[in-house]
Chain A
Amino acid sequence: MRTLKRIVSLFFISCFLLFSIVGCGSKQDTESSNGKDDSTAKKDETIELRFSWWGGEARHEGTLAAIDAYMKENPNIKIEAEYSGWDGYYQKLVTQLAGQTAPDIIQINYNWLYDLRRQGKFFTDPRDLQDIIDISGFSQASLDAISVDGELQGLPTGLNAVGMIYNKEFFKKNNIPEDIDYWNWDNLIEVGKRVHEADPNQYLLNEFPNSLTSLVDMYLEQQDKEIIKGDFTLGVNVDELTEAYEYVQKLFDNGVIAPFEITALFQDKTEQFPKWLNGEIGMFMQVASVVPALSNNFEVGVVRVPLKEGAKSSGVSINATNIFAVNDNGKHKEEAAKFINWMLNHEDGINVLKDVRGVQSTENGRKILLDAGIVNPVISQTIDIASKYPGETSNEAELNSELKKIKYQYIEMLGYGELSPSEAASEMLEVLEEKIKELQADN
């Protein structure tokens, strides 16, 4: 009986082992034969491409439609969509890049370029695929903005810039002029105070800690100052930074800006932000591409950011966002490039994708959509305003994740009243200096 049991069990185990070996083996077989296909590239063989992006509902729908249209035109291409919201996208991507399992076509953000490129070369320079991708339609400035040390990391799918996106109803109700050039730093406080006094539930302005950090940068840039300069040195002294923080303090004290206690939870989740959805927030500084998500409940408009009189720079930069990059480790780089070219340069591609990634970054693309009347007027207006009042593009130091985190931390402490403006300013500069030294020692 015992021996029988043992024989039966051995049989099952050997079956299990056999299957697992066979299973592994057959997978390898298909992989290697796939590799062969690539070199002989028969037309009727299917090539699978993976394509990942982040975004909201409208972008998902538009991109999926583009994929369908492309696959119909090219029956030998199968594109697998891997899409999600913004949260966690970057972390997943980095893990995939490290494990060499990243998709063939990857949507990346301009502010990761330096951090990633310092780790290794992940993306193919589109100029290496120039006979497939036509890059003539992109402005040199937009390409420079997404190059690291002269190496182009991908192609911008849209232009994006921040503007003050406002709720039209709210402005009417509170008698606020909808004049694009209306705002400066003084009347922001005056109007904000009045609005909040009229109804303590409503606030003229909302900024989450991260956008408030940008607002401070903007405030300083209009005075020709920046906290960290491109060469990784500090560009402000304690007094100058204290002055900027004192201004922020005034925004909070006068009820101009909604307190973090209520709002901070919805940072990066503006689509779910109840106070905005209820119409209790007048405006906030947002990138143009989120306009569709913000205008679900009511009509929105855009005005330029508060501007100091005589400022040389507004502090608003037009960024080439939502960059399409070709995975340098991918198996089908050329097919990936063909698809990107179709989306960015081909009329069909442009017409399907519309403005789901902001205003088209090629002139031709903009023209096609304008003619068709597809561009969201608020989005294109935001870009227009930003080009009328330009600022400097972000430098590597500004995009460094660790330095950004420090700036963020101190805005938080200021906003929650943990530190006074002068304390926050002097402490932050100290910490920044320390971190900069550490970063330079690492490199």
Chain B
Amino acid sequence: MKQKYKKRRMKDYVGLLYISPFIIGFLIFQLYPFISSIIYSFTDFTMIKKPDFVGFSNYINMFTKDRDFWNSVKVTFKYVLMAVPMKLIFALFIAMVLNMKLKSINFFRTIYYLPSILGGSVAVAVMWRFLFMYDGLVNNFLGVFNIPPVSWLGNPDISLYTIGLLAVWQFGSSMVLFLAGLKQIPENLYEASAIDGASKVKQFFVITLPMLTPIILFNMVMQTISAFQEFTGAFVITNGGPMKSTYLYGMMLYDNAFVHFKMGYASAQSWILFFIIVTITAILLKSSKRWAYYEDGGDF
């Protein structure tokens, strides 16, 4: 018995060794910053000066004194509520199109995935600026139809949506998941409903959508988490402006940490962001019991 136990332990070590590159990376680059940021959040750490313990004052100041904080929370929620549904709807739409049995459909699937390979990179963000600036391509195009130019990025009421569009444009990963989900829906459901006289629209709402709910849930959770952390677009394109209309939470964090050197304060803010994300994710998962449909009962 003892021999067997020892053998099993040995096996565990081998496994651990295999994943050691990841474990080491995780410990150094994720767990360590994660824990140290809790500690720093109770200090006035400036990256360089020796940190002094300041108790909860970072957290208290954030909620009571900081004028930017509530604005950024508002902007970020607005952004998430806009960008995530838009992205999911668009990804689903493209997935449905690409699920059709067309000639050379694989070619189109590759083409449509391209924006996601380019990702939220700085280069793409710069391109976005040139597309949507006042004298940019989009306004020039609208000009052809005699539509007056719109200040896509300069108008505080519109700028956040323009940044959101950049996120929508990177629909690829959600699309691939939707596509996989669509392929798993048994064809006989559609056939049976067609015989019963269901229209295509009806089929979409009573078969496709319910069958896709697990994937919708997964995509929604992942996209919500990343949307809360959005940074590149706002930073490169508008730098949080005009008038803080795109001053996302990530931007505020960055400014406090790297412009004003308030690392302790920024750590505290990042923990609040963490709690916001955890709460929203928990709510999504909890609520999914009511609307996500699993053929196998779906316990997780």
* Same assembly: yes
Residues of A within 8 A of B (CB): 6, 9-10, 13, 90-91, 94-95, 97-98, 115, 119-120, 209, 259-267, 274-275, 278, 401-402, 409, 412-413, 416, 418, 431, 434, 438, 442
Cβ-neighbour of B153 out of A6, A265, A409, A413 (below 8 A) = A265
B18 touches A13 (CB 8 A): yes
In the complex, which residue of chain A has the Cβ closest to the Cβ of B259? A401
Q: Is the CB of B48 within 8 A of A409?
A: no
The reply to whether B14 and A261 contact each other, CB–CB distance below 8 Å, is no
Residues on the A chain within 8 Å of B153, using CB:
265
Between A and B, 23 residue pairs with Cβ closer than 8 Å are A91-B258, A94-B258, A97-B48, A119-B47, A120-B48, A120-B49, A261-B151, A262-B134, A263-B154, A264-B242, A265-B134, A265-B238, A274-B133, A275-B134, A275-B135, A278-B135, A409-B243, A412-B241, A412-B243, A413-B243, A418-B243, A434-B65, A438-B65
User: Min CB distance, B164 to chain A, in Å?
Assistant: 17
> Given that A119-B49, A262-B134 are contacting pairs, would A10 and B14 also be in contact in the complex, using a CB cutoff of 8 Å?
yes
Complex contact A265–B133 (CB within 8 A): yes
Chain A residue numbers with a CB within 8 Å of B20 are 13
Residue from the set B153, B239, B242, B244 with the largest chain A CB neighbour count within 10 Å: B242
Question: B62 to nearest A CB, angstroms?
Answer: 13
Most buried by A among B14, B67, B243, B244: B243
Assess whether A119 is in contact with B242, with CB atoms less than 8 Å apart.
Answer: no
B residues less than 8 Å from A262 (CB atoms) = 134, 151, 154
**Do A264 and B154 touch (CB < 8 A)?**
yes
- A91, B151: Cα distance in complex, Å: 29
15 A-B pairs besides A6-B14, A261-B151, A262-B154 with CB distance below 8 A are A10-B17, A94-B47, A95-B258, A260-B154, A260-B242, A263-B154, A264-B241, A265-B133, A265-B153, A275-B134, A412-B241, A416-B242, A418-B156, A418-B243, A442-B44
In the complex, B155 has a CB within 8 A of chain A: yes
Nearest to A266 among chain B residues (CB) is B133
User: A45: shortest Cβ distance to chain B, in Å?
Assistant: 32
B200 at the interface (CB under 8 A from A): no
Considering only CB atoms, which chain A residue lies closest to B158 in the complex? A261
B46:A119 contact, CB within 8 angstroms? yes
CA distance A260 to B151 in the complex (A): 10
| Chain B residues near A263 (CB-CB < 8 A) | 154
Contact A402 B260 (CB under 8 A): yes
Q: Residues of B contacting A6 with CB < 8 Å?
A: 14
* CB nearest to B256 among chain A residues: A402
In chain B, what residue has the closest Cβ to A94?
B258
| B129 CB-CB contact with A under 8 Å | yes
Contact residues in A for B47 (Cβ distance below 8 Å): 94-95, 98, 119
Contact of B156 among A90, A416, A434 (CB under 8 A): A416
Give, as a whole number of angstroms, the nearest-CB distance from B217 to chain A.
Answer: 37
Task: Give, as a whole number of angstroms, the nearest-CB distance from A99 to chain B.
Answer: 9
Report the 9 A-B pairs with minimum CB-CB distance, sorted nearest first.
A261-B154, A98-B47, A261-B151, A91-B258, A274-B135, A119-B48, A262-B134, A13-B17, A120-B48
CB of B77 closer than 8 Å to a CB of A: no
* B261 within 8 Å of A (CB atoms): yes
Contact with A along B96-136 (1 / 0, CB 8 A): 00000000000000000000000000000000010001110
> Do B259 and A409 touch (CB < 8 A)?
no
Tell me which residues across on chain A come within 8 A of B18, comparing CB atoms: 9, 13
Interface string of B151-168 (1 = CB under 8 A from A): 101111000000000000
Closest residue of chain A to B155 (Cβ to Cβ) is A261
Looking at the assembled complex, report how far the CB atom of B296 sits from the nearest CB atom of chain A, in whole angstroms.
34
Chain A contact surface mostly: helix
Query: How far does the Cβ of A144 sit from chain B's closest Cβ, in whole Å?
Result: 25
Contacts of A94 in B (CB 8 A): 47, 258, 261
**What's the Cα separation between A6 and B133 when bound, in Å?**
60
| List of B residues within 8 angstroms of A413 by Cβ | 243
CA distance A261 to B261 in the complex (A): 30
CB distance from B169 to the nearest CB of A (A): 19
- Bound-state Cα–Cα, A264 to B238, Å: 9
Nearest A residue to B16 by beta-carbon distance?
A13
**Which B residue's beta carbon lies closest to that of A97?**
B48
State in angstroms the CA–CA spacing of A259 and B17 once bound together: 61
The CA of A60 and the CA of B179, in the complex, are separated in Å by 48
B48 lies within 8 A of A265 (CB): no
By a CB distance below 8 angstroms, the chain A residues around B242 are 260-261, 264, 412, 416
**Cα–Cα, bound, A278→B17 (Å):** 62
Q: In the complex, what distance in Å separates the CA atom of A263 from the CA atom of B242? A: 11
User: Given the complex, which residues of B lie within 8 Å of A120, measured CB to CB?
Assistant: 48-49
Contact with A along B234-260 (1 / 0, CB 8 A): 000111011110000000001000111
In Å, the complex CA distance between A97 and B135 comes to 40
Q: Which of B49-80 contact A (CB under 8 A)?
A: 49, 65, 67
Specify which chain A residues have a CB less than 8 angstroms from the CB of B154 in the assembled complex: 259-265
The residue in chain A whose Cβ has the minimal distance to the Cβ of B261 is A119
In the complex, A112→B155 CA distance in Å?
31
CA distance A410 to B25 in the complex (A): 44
CA distance A398 to B48 in the complex (A): 23
- Tell me whether B14 and A115 are in contact (CB under 8 A): no
- Residue interface mask B18-37, A partner, CB < 8 A = 1: 10100000000000000000
Q: Whole-angstrom distance between the alpha carbons of A10 and B17 in the complex?
A: 9
**A409 touches which of B151, B239, B244 (Cβ 8 Å):** B244
Known contacts A9-B18, A261-B155, A264-B154: A115-B48 contact under CB 8 Å: no
* B261 lies within 8 A of A115 (CB): yes
Please give, as numbers and ranges, the residues of chain B lying within 8 Å of A274 by CB-CB distance: 133-135
- B residues near A10, Cβ cutoff 8 Å: 14, 17
In the complex, chain B residues whose CB is within 8 Å of the CB of A119: 46-49, 261
Determine the distance from Cα of A413 to Cα of B241 in the docked complex, in whole angstroms.
Answer: 11
Assuming the A-B contacts A119-B48, A119-B261, are A261 and B243 also in contact, with contact meaning beta carbons closer than 8 angstroms in the complex? no
Q: In the complex, which residues of chain B have a beta carbon less than 8 angstroms from the beta carbon of A431?
A: 67
Q: Mark B134-158, 1 if CB is under 8 A from A, else 0.
A: 1100000000000000010111100
A98 touches B151 (CB 8 A): no
